[in-house]
Amino acid sequence: MNKDHVLNELSSYLDNELSETEKQKAEEHIRTCSSCAKELAHLKFISEKLKEWKVPEASPFFEQVIKNEIASERQERGVVKMKKKTLTTLIPAGVMAGILVFVTVGYLLKQGVYQSVLSSKGNVPAPIIQANKPAIGAQTNAPVVATPVIERKEKLLMRASTQGLDKSSVVMSAYAARDKGLALSYGAAIVGCVSSINGVTRYAAGEFNTEQYDRIYESEFLKATDNPLSTFSIDVDTASYSNVRRFLNNNQMPPKDAVRIEEMINYFTYDYPQPQNNEPFSVTTEMGACPWNNKHKLLLVGLQGKVMDTQNLPPSNLVFLLDVSGSMADANKLPLVKSAFRLLVDKLRPEDKVSIVVYASSSEVVLDSISGSDKMKIQNAIDNLQAGGSTAGGAGIQLAYEIAKKNYIKGGNNRVILATDGDFNTGVSSDSEMVRLIEEKRNDGIFLTILGFGMGNYKDAKMEKLADKGNGNAAYIDNLLEAKKVFITQLTGTLYTIAKDVKIQIEFNPAKVKAYRLIGYENRLLKKEDFNDDKKDAGELGAGHSVTALYEIVTADSEEEFGKTDPLKYQKTVIEPSDELLTVKLRYKEPAADESRLISKKLSGADIKTSFSENLNFASAVAEFGMILRGSQYKGSASYQDAIDRAKASKGKDEFGYRAEFIRLTEIAQLLDTKK
């Protein structure tokens, strides 16, 4: 739910404008949403206090002037520029009276009336927003730039009058609120009336949180006799880990559903062997004791993509699809996007081609297929981007794919790189609509990289779906070092796909395995029939990328019981004697191919280890940390300290310090977690 819709709903609820059904739905949502409950409490409190704040009524003529100004507003990328009017006659007395009212209100705000109003009630912070002091040499009487687009203009004036508020103050303060393209309702205008000082709103400070995460239902233990096959798509996304890091670095525990354990494990590289015999990747299997349940075993399945020399990489046709809507104005959004893409531009070669498409209220082509050698032109185009307007993400994606297809390089790397907070609110914007759009475009041989930015309105669920369905990968950029990891350290893995539609299917031998549980990958599970279906989409593997999956195994000699059912009447399960524990099968397609190839590997009892390798040791530490953050019912004896100790013992070379950072984040979570 985007901000303008939320504020309109809250203000309508506050003013008793909803139908009985809508009112019940709103009340049910408010009971379960702390952010909306907090906003409603603020609106109620401020509205009551403003009713007590007596301000002389503006003259009818001044009201008409304001209406004329609103009617003449002109929007350009979300910034409303007011047309200048020169008066050749004396200013009427009514206008003078209105100006006097506005100046008086501004003076009262400056003298701290607002702070005293809010501080009169202990449970409301005072002030909500703090005025910024002007810079040295700045003009203190400079006018505030008007930016928001105001909805229900006539209603805004009428309702201000009926509730005893000065209409000119409410309207003018609404213009003064810099809300980055947010369409203001009456409720938002009230907030703007008392909190828009120097054009700053508390929503920009992140208090109004609309981040979205899909509910994750953990995989359960499955009996090998009933479910001998476990099938899933690989996942090289890493967005969850850096997003979790963002929360912990802000001294906050992350939401449970922001924690996708497979993405946390796959954030790190592992010491797997390079592939042989012209295969695009190698397969590693390993098994040892389970750290958080000493009655179970832990199975590791690892893939290692072929490392490619940058000199041998095919030419690239890249389309930078950049969100420049109003919601991207924060420092950790569009400014960080610019810095991140500068790093990528520095790595471009003359044979690479770059196009830039931007979208806000509409979409447009900024550059069309410029050589990578023309770095200055590309950099200037990026530097000149500014945020403003609503978010027509669907239109932007349509245009980006059209440009990519028009400039398609046969045998090359054709890719759209989308940078956004995911907060689409104009045109094609729902998750289902966006997924269908991406599914249509992936058949053109164009791959997708999604980079998430920002906080407060970050749409994680949408980003994950688009990456999964668009032959793509997803990362979350929380700082410039993460941008360096994505665009420099792991550039080939980010941009160059060596295998697509990679699926894993493991057959467990019931004679050796009683039950198993796949850790993570809940959103990547496939039906057993999908493994041999080449039309079924799956994950992509980039050059040099590694993929790791962990299974918790219950051996056949265990006395544990799982999912008791009555014996079958019409069929019997026959278990063939064998020393093999399992067989790992993989299917993949070459980037331009339509038919898959098969790789198979067996794991026997002799492969069970009494001590962990560095790979299994560190991967298990990350999994243990993830299960604690998620509050997993399967975490057993898992503890932060055990994860820290195992991670320290298996840190290895750690050339870029990623594993050392993991240890630090685990220590932060250990201090923050009050439930441990």
Q: Give the DSSP letter string of 11-33.
A: HHHHTT-S-HHHHHHHHHHHHH-
Copy the structure tokens of residue 330: 């924060």
Contact 545, 486 (CB under 8 A): no
Helix axes 614-630, 658-672, angle to 10 degrees: 30
For residue 123, what pLDDT is reported? 38
- pLDDT at 74 exceeding the cut of 60: no
Long-range contacts of 223-226 (CB under 8 A, 24+ apart): 223/514, 223/515, 223/562, 223/563, 224/508, 224/509, 224/510, 224/513, 224/514, 224/515, 224/516, 224/556, 225/510, 225/573, 225/575, 226/563, 226/565
Query: Which residues fall within 8 angstroms of residue 316, CB to CB, at 6 or more apart?
Result: 348, 351, 352, 353, 372, 409, 412, 413, 414, 415, 495
User: Which amino acid is it at 526?
Assistant: L
* 587-601 mean pLDDT: 94
For residue 575, what pLDDT is reported? 87
Copy the structure tokens of residue 85: 């009017």
Sequence spans of domains, the chain: 3-195, 222-308+507-559+574-579+612-672, 311-495
Read off the pLDDT band of 226 (50, 70, 90). Answer: very high
Query: Which residues fall within 8 angstroms of residue 138, CB to CB, at 6 or more apart?
Result: none
Contact 490, 558 (CB under 8 A): no
For residue 53, what pLDDT is reported? 52
Question: Which of 199-203, 422-426, 567-571, 665-669 shows the highest mean pLDDT?
Answer: 665-669
* 212-237 mean pLDDT: 95
Q: Count of CB atoms within 10 A of residue 21's CB?
A: 8
For residue 518, what pLDDT is reported? 98
For residue 372, what pLDDT is reported? 95
Read off the pLDDT band of 339 (50, 70, 90). Answer: very high
User: Which amino acid is it at 69?
Assistant: E
* 367-383 mean pLDDT: 96
> Quick one: what percent of the chain has pLDDT higher than 90?
54
* Mean pLDDT for all residues in the chain: 79
Of 91 and 251, which is predicted with more confidence?
Answer: 251
Give the tens place of pLDDT for each residue, 447-504: 999 999 999 889 898 888 888 888 889 999 999 999 999 999 999 999 999 999 999 9
* 238-265 mean pLDDT: 96
Give the tens place of pLDDT for each residue, 627-663: 999 999 999 999 999 999 999 999 999 999 999 999 9
Copy the structure tokens of residue 318: 């890249």
- pLDDT at 153 exceeding the cut of 80: no
Read off the pLDDT band of 67 (50, 70, 90). Answer: low
For residue 606, what pLDDT is reported? 72
CA 67 to chain centre: 40
Cα separation, 590 vs 260, whole angstroms = 27
Read off the pLDDT band of 441 (50, 70, 90). Answer: confident
Of 143 and 467, which is predicted with more confidence?
Answer: 467
* 105-128 mean pLDDT: 39
Read off the pLDDT band of 568 (50, 70, 90). Answer: confident
For residue 100, what pLDDT is reported? 54
For residue 280, what pLDDT is reported? 93
Q: What is the DSSP letter of 486?
A: I
3-state secondary structure 103-152: HHHHHHHHCCHHHHHHHCCCCCCCCCCCCCCCCCCCCCCCCCCCCCEECC
Q: Could you tell me the CA-to-CA distances from 120 to 43, 165, 197 in Å, in that order?
A: 16, 20, 20
Copy the structure tokens of residue 447: 């791959």
Contact 342, 375 (CB under 8 A): no
User: Which amino acid is it at 50?
Assistant: L
Of 66 and 592, which is predicted with more confidence?
Answer: 592
Three-state DSSP state, 362: coil
Read off the pLDDT band of 249 (50, 70, 90). Answer: very high
User: Which amino acid is it at 196?
Assistant: S
Query: Which residues fall within 8 angstroms of residue 634, CB to CB, at 6 or more apart?
Result: 218, 221, 517, 552, 627
Give the tens place of pLDDT for each residue, 8-58: 677 777 777 777 777 777 777 776 676 777 777 777 766 665 555 554 555
Of 104 and 354, which is predicted with more confidence?
Answer: 354
- pLDDT at 407 exceeding the cut of 80: yes
For residue 204, what pLDDT is reported? 37
Three-state DSSP state, 188: helix
**C-alpha triplet 382, 387, 388: angle, nearest 5°:** 145
For residue 98, what pLDDT is reported? 55
Contact 224, 230 (CB under 8 A): no
* 332-355 mean pLDDT: 96
Cα separation, 267 vs 189, whole angstroms = 44
**CATH for the stretch 311-495:** 3.40.50.410
Least confident of 52-61, 115-124, 217-226, 482-491: 115-124
* 222-233 mean pLDDT: 96
Q: What is the DSSP letter of 278?
A: T
Give the tens place of pLDDT for each residue, 275-325: 998 899 999 999 999 999 999 999 999 999 999 887 788 999 999 999 999
Three-state DSSP state, 604: strand
Quick one: CA dihedral 377, 382, 383, 388, positive or negative? positive
Copy the structure tokens of residue 45: 């409190």
Q: Are strands 447-452 and 546-555 parallel, antiparallel or unpaired?
A: unpaired
Long-range contacts of 564-572 (CB under 8 A, 24+ apart): 565/226
For residue 309, what pLDDT is reported? 83
Helix axes 640-649, 658-672, angle to 10 degrees: 170
Contact 289, 144 (CB under 8 A): no
pTM reported for the whole predicted model: 0.72
Read off the pLDDT band of 94 (50, 70, 90). Answer: low
For residue 452, what pLDDT is reported? 95
Of 134 and 45, which is predicted with more confidence?
Answer: 45
| Pick from 615, 597, 516, 604: nearest CA to 304 | 615
Reading phi first (left if > 0) and then psi (alpha if -120 to 50, else beta), residue 323 is in beta
Contact 151, 189 (CB under 8 A): no
Copy the structure tokens of residue 643: 């994860």
- pLDDT at 260 exceeding the cut of 50: yes
For residue 192, what pLDDT is reported? 37
Of 600 and 180, which is predicted with more confidence?
Answer: 600
Copy the structure tokens of residue 550: 């962990």
